[in-house]
Structure 1
Amino acid sequence: MSGPAAPPAERVDGPLLRIAFILVLGTFMATVDATIVSVGIDTLADEFGSSVAGIQWVTTAYLLAVVTAVPASGWLADRFGGRRTWLVAVAVFLLGSVLCALAWSATSLIVFRVVQGLGGGLLPPTGQALLARIAGPGRTGRVISVVAVVPLLSPVLGPLAGGSILGVAPWPWLFLVNLPVGAAAIWLARRHVPVVPPSARRTAFDVRGAALLSPGLAVLVLGLTEVAHGRHLTAAIGVTAGLAMLAGFTAHGLRTRRAPLIDPRLFGRPPFGAAAVALLVLGASVFGTTFLLPLYFQSGRGLSAWEAGLLLAPQGLGAAAGSVLVNRTIDKVAPRTLVVTGIALILAGTVPFTQLGHTPPDAVLASALAVRGVGMAMIGAPVMNIVYSRIEPEHLPRASGALSLLNTVGGSVGTAALAVVLQDRLTARGPDVPQAFADTFWWVLGFCLVAAAGATRLPRTHARKP
């Protein structure tokens, strides 16, 4: 039996779409930059005389900095206001980009990537929370469906952009390309994005929570990365220490009388817990697949980075088409229906990749990626709309930070876990590289089934407007 009819949608006008476009520029820079450097690893290793394993820290350091910065986004927005926090984050990101372009060694580049990642980690959650506050509950779903497609496109656009830049310009332009986008974002935001006042409740910064949560996440991700590289002792220490610090943060968050950096009680409030599971596993599936496919196309089929990026393009096109579909239906169709349908499409689009040992035609893989893209677009925006429309406005910054953190952690942990599985299967399969990748994609299917189980707990109906 269907639930009550959805409330009539409020009009998403031109000024709101302009604000959404401006704020999504920050998310675009931060998410694309996470992948744009991936195709330049060999170039950077040659430039600085470093091993590929050593220069890989250029990517890992950025990811760890993002994971470290996200938990603080809610407190910063509460304390200083969403627009001010967002503008400062863009400025820090641009400063890091300039420093990266001026790097003189692999070590200096890694350090400057940390600066860049600290700014980049704040941009998606701060921008989403600010947009939700400006839009209001009645318009959040439709406007979020527009901007949520950007993180889905970035894993596709990043390698393509990186390959194009390196084809015509030296490596510093991998970072300098951010400057015009960031400068335009700051100028436009100062003119068109309204000021949202800070929270009336001035809470002290959760120093103990920050000392446990951010380093705990970073150490956990680092430990999982070490597993993928075969350094088992370091990995065991990192994973154990990371889990212990996260357990300590949870205990602290439940006991403290002050506002914790991220409130663990949020995950016990419907529908936040189910939404958290869906976004966590979605991050693992999306970024894990984006990690696996370029490797398969290049090592299994001998394609260039540019050719591999082109084969990933259908997923981005599918995500764009899916965002249009969600924008037109998000206020009419039950949220759970959209999310479950999206997960089903991702499952269907993943099945052909479990058959890579039989060398399916490129057309089949391209079609499967397009289906996956549509499915991914049908999950992120409805899940965020469910949470944003059911939570008090003053709690939006911290809730947005929690959701962004889960998606980021899901992506990083999922990628690290799939890297471990792939390494094991490559060892077991020997020269049969395609079959090793096929085995690994069964794990992606498993991630999707876990997400489906969480999605069944999402609400059937839309939130009623106050």
Structure 2
Amino acid sequence: MSEKADPTDTPTGAPPDAPAAGRVDAKLLRIAFILVLGTFMATIDATIVSVGIDTLAGEFGASVAEIQWISTAYLLAVVAAVPASGWLAGRFGGRRTWLVAIGIFLLGSVLCALAWSANSLIVFRVVQGLGGGLLPATGQALLARAAGPGRTGRVIAIVGVVPLLSPVLGPLAGGSILAVAPWPWLFLVNLPIGAAAILLARRYVPVVPPAPRRTAFDLRGAALLSPGLAVLVYGLTEVAHGRTLPAVLGITAGTAMLIAFTVHGLRTRATPLVDPRLFTRPPFGAAALALVVLGASVFGTMFLLPLYFQTGPGLTAWEAGLLLAPQGLGAAAGSVLVNRTIDQVAPRTLVVTGIALILLGTVPFTQLGHQPPDVLLIAALATRGIGMAMVGAPVMNIVYTRIEPAQLPRAAGALNLLNVVGGSLGTAALAVILQSRLTARGTDVSQAFADTFWWVLGFCLLAAAGATRLPRTHAGKP
């Protein structure tokens, strides 16, 4: 199952006729647009269902707690799939892995639309999540290879806005669909997007051959890492639901499996699924810390804000989604700014500035108990969006431009794993904190949310500490 090498492939990953370093031409933009369709589907599907929880609970006669597993199951499947993306791309070729992942995702979407019970829908969401978990990392590796080191920063800045917009667009899209169509269309809407992505990719995305030196799949590592992460996230989720025994068992078992994976990764002579030593090498270690903690802050906040707008001011899901739109607009503006400055400004400067903006935009939410005006919250969300865009793309550019092209799939898998894990663990941790503050504050819901946002500030400060260790200069510059 090997792919023929594309005539445009070179040792640097850029085609022989690549434009001058830094210039993103129409051909590369076309490839980026095609690959980002997969990322868009995978990331938006994590949130598009959130506004349909009540509808699905009524459809299947399930409690909200039971039907909530359609979101949790998807998330756990994504966490389980991401670590294998690097090996799969190296073994079978990047484009082939990406196309198969699209196919799995679409199959899961069709099955979800045909679900006859809550349990069947949860199982089919796992299928969908397995395909969705492979798409972002594989797509980023393909894009970085097509761009080459000189253009990676700019093109990642362009497409990196999609994961930032998806949490905002998901609830809006879900609410719009349910307003005019039955619930299966929450999943069937993926079919035309996925079909277009497959057809365009087969025509325009260059073939990347498998790695010349094939490595055996790390079965032991896979049996420890993916289930360990999933069980840990499950345990934290159970804490938020107040179920002590499953929470303790999940957290204990998940932590033990991750420790066992680390020991295995350090001792094995074969190639581990994710090499723990990678995180000790600069700049990967600092980039890893920044991504994990930032993921916890960003995705945790996207969990808190819609919940606050609906339980505090009592807005509908659609109205809450509209209030989140300024963050998406800020992210779009930030991506334009990063695209113009990423090759001129030191990576550390961009990332630290971005984290500072996220900090600044988070402060007003620590004052929710005092009912800050809507205009201040809107400005804060826009500021957060700009800051978010200034972090992700430069961090990924730092890593992608400092490793060999053959290592891109594994590096992309590791970076996406960190982002997903940070978001998953951060969301679960903030849910636990929020529950405890709601219990302590009683009827003062706004103050309980304000207390929780102080923890978000703490996450940002920790990310800033990691960002100070990022390189001051670009790769290849003194």
Q: Give the TM-score band, short-chain normalised.
A: over 0.9
SS at 1:137 equivalent: coil
Residue 217 of structure 2 is matched in structure 1 by: 205
CA separation in 1, counterparts of 2:398 and 2:22?
A: 16
1:346-375 per-residue CA deviation (whole Å, 9 max, x = no partner) reads 000000000000111111101000000000
Deviation of the 1:122 alpha carbon: 0.1
Cα distance in 2 between the residues matched to 1:36 and 1:285: 20
Q: Which residue of 2 aligns with 1:40?
A: 52
Q: How does 1:419-458 map to 2 (within 5 A)?
A: 419-458=431-470
Q: CA RMSD in A?
A: 0.9
Task: Report the CA distance between 1:381 and its aligned residue.
Answer: 0.1
**How far 1:11 moved relative to its partner?**
1.6
Q: Which residue is equivalent to 1:4?
A: none
Q: Is the 8 A contact 2:326 2:381 kept in 1?
A: yes
Match for residue 5 of structure 1?
none
**Matching of residue 64 in structure 1 with residue 76 in structure 2:** yes
Instruction: Among all aligned residue pairs of Structure 1 and Structure 2, give the percentage whose two residues are the same amino acid.
Output: 84
Distance 1:138 1:269 in 2: 22
Amino acid at match of 1:341: T
Aligned to 1:346: 358
User: What residue identity is the alignment partner of 2:430?
Assistant: L
Residue 363 (str. 1) matches residue 375 (str. 2): yes
2:12 is aligned to: none
Conservation of the 8 A alpha-carbon contact between 1:9 and 1:331:
no
Show the counterpart of 1:11: 23
- 1:92 aligns with 104
Alignment of 1:284 with 2:296, yes or no, is yes
CA distance in 1, matches of 2:473, 2:228: 37
Aligned residues of 1:35 and 1:159 also touching (Cα < 8 A): yes
Match of 1:247 in 2: 259
**For structure 1, which runs of at least 5 residues remain unmatched after alignment?**
1-7
Structure 2: which 5+ residue stretches go unaligned? 1-19
Cα distance, 1:10 vs. partner?
A: 2.9
Give 1:21-420 correspondences, 5 Å limit.
21-420=33-432
| Letter of the 1:182 counterpart | G
Q: CA deviation at 1:282?
A: 1.2
SS at match of 1:241: helix
Partner Cα separation in structure 1 for residue 398 and residue 380 of structure 2: 28
User: 1:353 & 1:9 partners in 2: Cα distance?
Assistant: 42
- Letter of the aligned partner of 1:448 in structure 2? C
Shift of 1:284: 0.6
CA shift, 1:9, in A, is 3.9
CA shift, 1:266, in A, is: 0.5
Aligned equivalents of 1:458, 1:370: Cα separation in 2 = 25
- CA deviation map 1:40-99 (0-9, x unaligned): 000000000000000000000000000000000000000000000000000000000000
Aligned partners of 1:278 and 1:452 also within 8 Å: yes
Is the partner of 1:391 in helix, strand or coil?
A: coil
Is the partner of 2:150 in helix, strand or coil? helix
- Give the Cα separation in 2 of the matches to 1:240 and 1:206: 23
Whole-Å separation in 2 of the counterparts to 1:15 and 1:132: 14
Aligned residues: 459
Q: Counterpart amino acid of 2:90? A: D
Give the AA of the match of 2:123. Answer: V
> What residue is the counterpart of 2:4 in the other structure?
none
Q: Is the 8 A contact 2:359 2:460 kept in 1?
A: yes
TM-score, length-normalised on structure 2?
0.95
Moved over 6 A (4+): none
SS at match of 2:327: helix
Cα distance in 2, alignment partners of residues 397 and 255 from structure 1: 22
Structure 1 CA distance, aligned partners of 2:387 and 2:352?
9
Structure 1 residue 281: Cα displacement: 1.0
For the 8 Å contact 1:23–1:127, the answer to whether it is kept is yes
Contact 2:22 2:343 in 1 (8 A): no
Shift of 1:232: 1.2
- Within 1, Cα distance between the matches of 2:44 and 2:413? 19
Partner of 1:3: none
Residue identity in the other structure for 2:60: F
Q: Is the 8 A contact 1:94 1:179 kept in 2?
A: yes
Cα distance, 1:392 vs structure 2: 1.2
Q: 1:464 and 1:12 mapped to 2: Cα distance? A: 20
Q: Determine if contact 1:81/1:199 at 8 Å carries over to the other structure.
A: yes
TM-score when normalising by structure 1: 0.98
C-alpha deviation, 1:167, in angstroms: 0.6
CA distance in 1, matches of 2:21, 2:306: 41
Letter in 2 for 1:251: V
> What CA distance in whole angstroms lies between the structure 2 residues aligned with 1:282 and 1:154?
16
